[in-house]
Structure formats: C-alpha cells, structure tokens
Amino acid sequence: MAQQTETGTEAFRGAGVTGNRISARIAAVSPSATLAVDAKAKALQAQGESVIGFGAGEPDFPTPDAVVAAAEAACHDPRNHRYSPTAGLPELREAIADKTRRDSGLDVAASQVLVTNGGKQAVANAFAALCDPGDEVLVPAPYWTTYPESIALAGGIPVVVGTDSASGFRVTVEQLEAARTSYTKVLLFVSPSNPTGAVYPKGEIEAIGRWAAGHGIWVVTDEIYEHLVYGDAEFHSMPVVVPEVADRCIVVNGVAKTYAMTGWRVGWMLGPSDVITAATNLQSHETSNVANVSQRAALAAVSGDLEAVAMMRAAFDRRRRLIHRLLNGIDGIECLLPEGAFYAFPSVSGLYGRSFRGRTCATSDELAELAIEEAKVAVVPGEAFGSPGYFRLSYALGDEDLVEGVSRLADLFSGG
Ligand SMILES: Cc1ncc(COP(=O)(O)O)c(C=O)c1O
C-alpha cells in the first residue's frame, strides 16, 4: 500500500506528527468546564457532602408525563427498534416545522429540518458544514463554552468579541464591524443567552441581522431558550425579523430546556436545503438517526401545548428575582437582573484581594474553587465563558437550595 497515489494516502496526509498518541486537533479540545463543575459537585455529594450545585444548565423539573408516556409506548413498537432516516422521523421533522411556524413565525419546510443528538450536535454540524480552514467566526463573549470548541474542531477560527455588564452583555454592530475581516464567514448569535441571561431587543436583532446580510455573513442563531423570557423581554428570531438573512442562516434549537428533556438528547437545525443536505451527509457517517424512542418523545413534546413550559417559566421567573436580590445583598457582588434563560451572571471582581477563611483570590476561577471547597457551593467561573471576573449560577434548582446556596456564599464572602 506504500504506492498509494495522490488521491490515496498522500491526499489524507496532513501536517500531523505520527509520534503523537492523540491528534493535535483533538488534543486541543478542553473538557466542558460546566460539566466538570457539575461532576465535581456530584462527586462530593456521593461522598456524603451537602453540596448546592448552581453549575448544571438543566431544569430541575421532570419531563412532562405525556412525553414519557409517548416514549413508553414507542419502546413497545418494533418500528422503533430499527434504523430510521438520518435526518429524523418524517413526522417529527414535519412537527418541528409546524412548531417553528407557531412559536417564532419562521416558515420552514420539513425538508429543511435535521434532527440531531441534542442542540449540541446541531451546533457541531452547523460549523462543520460552514467552516473551511481559516474561516473566522465572530463569537460574542460571554459565550457558551461549546461554541469555540466546535468552531475550532471544524477548522474555523473563533474571533471573540467581548461584552460586559455595562452593555447588558449585548454586542453592538460597531463592535462586530470592528472585528470583521475579509475572512469573516459566520456570526454566532444567541438570545436569550447562556451564560448571561441577556435578551436582545427586536431593534438590536434587526440592526445586527441587517449588518450580517449586508456583508454576506452567515448567522448561526441558537434559539434553545426561546420560551424562557421574563418581564418585558421578548424572544425574536433573527431570520423572521430580517428575512434577508434566511438564505445564510442556521437556526439551532431542541427540546432540552423547553420541556425539561436534557437527558433525551433531541435537538435540531433548520437551514437552507444545501446546508441541511450537507449536514445530513455528515451525520449519516457520524451518528445516524437519533434514538427513535427519544424522537417519539420529542414528537409528543413539540406537537403538544406549552403548558409545562409556562409552569416552569413562572418558577424560573420567581427564582431569578430571588437570586438577583440575594446576590446583590453580598458586598463585592453585583448582578444584573437576567431577562431570559435560567442563569445569573454576577460580577465578582469586587471580591478580589480580600481575605476569606485565610485565602485571598485574584481571579473568578480561584473564587469558584474557594466556594466549592469552603462553602460546598458549585458555581462556574467566568473564565469558562471567555469572561473572567464573573460567576455563572444556574437558578434551575429548587427554591430552598437556591436560598441555602446563596446564604452559604454570603456567609463565606462576609468573612464568616
Ligand atoms: C446556548 C445553548 N445551546 C445549546 C445547548 C445544547 O443543549 P442540548 O445539547 O442539551 O440540546 C445548550 C445547553 O446547555 C445551551 O445552553
């Protein structure tokens, strides 16, 4: 086989050093910091410690009964014991198209839907389908930890555009324009945001969408928290607000957050037919169809009503006001009122340089370490989201735990 031609071995030979046990591309991937914090909290709990976990990004509610019942029935149907089309069960793709029309007003055909293993696979597929080596992707920070990794794995270059609490963690057209180069291919957009809870007003979405369309820049817009908006905040879908972006736009979504279905692993991507075909080809070699029982559960979820999410939204709304008030009661911590999703993202840099239980911290990473070790409270430091100086606290946990956890932080950071 040493005589392979240019279309054989040589064509596949990259710049790799054959002595490496792990490829350079995969060795560069960091573990998910949010999952690591959650794992640490669960490990301490398993040792009998009373840990309060603000780390996990998942609703504490069970999946609605009707969804579980549909999955149960699906287990007994032999059709679900077999491979099914990579792009998803036809009835689920149809139901996702209908649900999208109902919820965001975006008109898509079932053929423009690819069902994925969670929103995470939709993110990975989207960047794999769009990025050539060296293409730049604008990523507003604070960002969800997975985005830069998926971009880099796809050969793209994540270009981080920083925001802070002064701007409500919302990026502006001026900032995006300053970061744009001739290599800019994609803008990553997410509203409501993980990790900040920021929700972009319609006018800002319109301005950003027009800017992207005007420069022929693709938009990958993550709408997984579409139903979790509070107060006066409203969700708007960019390709609906700015129809000109639709031909270069991929929407990422899923059932995880809306229906308390994180463990079922069903998400989807919507986009122009050529992108969906390309991503389906990729997925056909990587994971094939999403588990049929999970797809049947997702079908029950998206074709049902939104009663369960209304109940969860009311609970999250109460908790966001509670956590906002409690965190702002701690000297050295400042928190904006989150407008969406289920995360608070307070600034903790006011705690730097002060001594707590004999330890002094200079970074949010060190403060998060102190919180888990001394107060048994798990939070994710801002470093994980490209924004040091902050903590992310998920308030998708029970009210009592929420109060207990923030009280422990208050106790720790008041020198107690
Ligand atoms: C912004 C955002 N997008 C996508 C996802 C992916 O969710 P899943 O893969 O569980 O559907 C998450 C999960 O935390 C998220 O926060």
The CB of 185 under 6 Å from ligand 1? The reply is no
Q: For residues 371-397, b (16+ Cβ closer than 10 Å) or e, as one string?
A: bbebbbbbbbbbbbbbbebbbbbbbbb
Q: Locate the ligand 1 atom nearest the alpha carbon of residue 193 and give its number.
A: 1
**Tens of pLDDT along 335-374?**
999 999 999 999 999 999 999 999 999 999 999 999 999 9
Give the integer Cα–Cα distance in Å for 284 and 273: 16
Q: Locate the ligand 1 atom nearest the alpha carbon of residue 123 and give its number.
A: 4
Give the integer Cα–Cα distance in Å for 319 and 120: 26
For the chain, what is the mean pLDDT? 93
pLDDT at 11 > cutoff 80: no
The CB of 190 under 6 Å from ligand 1? The reply is yes
Output the CA 257–ligand 1 centroid distance in Å. 8
Give the integer Cα–Cα distance in Å for 401 and 142: 26
Which residues are registered as beta bridge partners of 116? 267
Testing ligand 1's pocket by substitution, the residue of 35, 257, 266 carrying the most ligand atoms inside 8 A of its CB is 257
CB within 8 Å of 21: residues ≥ 6 apart = none
Please check whether residue 275 is in contact with residue 248, taking contact to mean a CB–CB distance below 8 angstroms.
no
- pTM score of the predicted model: 0.93
59: amino acid identity, one letter: P
Q: Locate the ligand 1 atom nearest the alpha carbon of residue 144 and give its number.
A: 1
Q: How close are the terminal C-alpha atoms of the chain, in Å?
A: 70
Output the CA 321–ligand 1 centroid distance in Å. 23
**Tens of pLDDT along 178-196?**
999 999 999 999 999 999 9
**Tens of pLDDT along 385-402?**
999 999 999 999 889 999
**Tens of pLDDT along 65-88?**
999 999 999 999 999 999 999 999
The CB of 262 under 6 Å from ligand 1? The reply is yes
The CB of 224 under 6 Å from ligand 1? The reply is yes
pLDDT at 7 > cutoff 60: no
Please check whether residue 198 is in contact with residue 387, taking contact to mean a CB–CB distance below 8 angstroms.
no
CB within 8 Å of 6: residues ≥ 6 apart = none
Report helix, strand or coil for 179: helix
The CB of 118 under 6 Å from ligand 1? The reply is yes
pLDDT band at residue 56 under the 50/70/90 scheme: confident
Please check whether residue 93 is in contact with residue 287, taking contact to mean a CB–CB distance below 8 angstroms.
no
* Nearest alpha-carbon partner for 195 in 165, 232, 174: 165
User: What's CA 17's distance to the chain center, in Å?
Assistant: 34
What is the DSSP secondary-structure string of 102-168? HHT-----GGGEEEESHHHHHHHHHHHHHPPTT-EEEEEES--THHHHHHHHTT-EEEEEE--GGGT
The CB of 189 under 6 Å from ligand 1? The reply is no
**Tens of pLDDT along 221-238?**
999 999 999 999 999 999
Output the six-digit token pair for 48. 């009998």
Atom 1, ligand 1: residue with shortest CA distance: 194
* Nearest alpha-carbon partner for 270 in 106, 29, 56: 106
Atom 15, ligand 1: residue with shortest CA distance: 194
**Tens of pLDDT along 284-304?**
999 999 999 999 999 999 999
pLDDT band at residue 2 under the 50/70/90 scheme: very low
Helical spans, DSSP H, in 192-241:
202-214, 238-241
Please check whether residue 333 is in contact with residue 246, taking contact to mean a CB–CB distance below 8 angstroms.
no
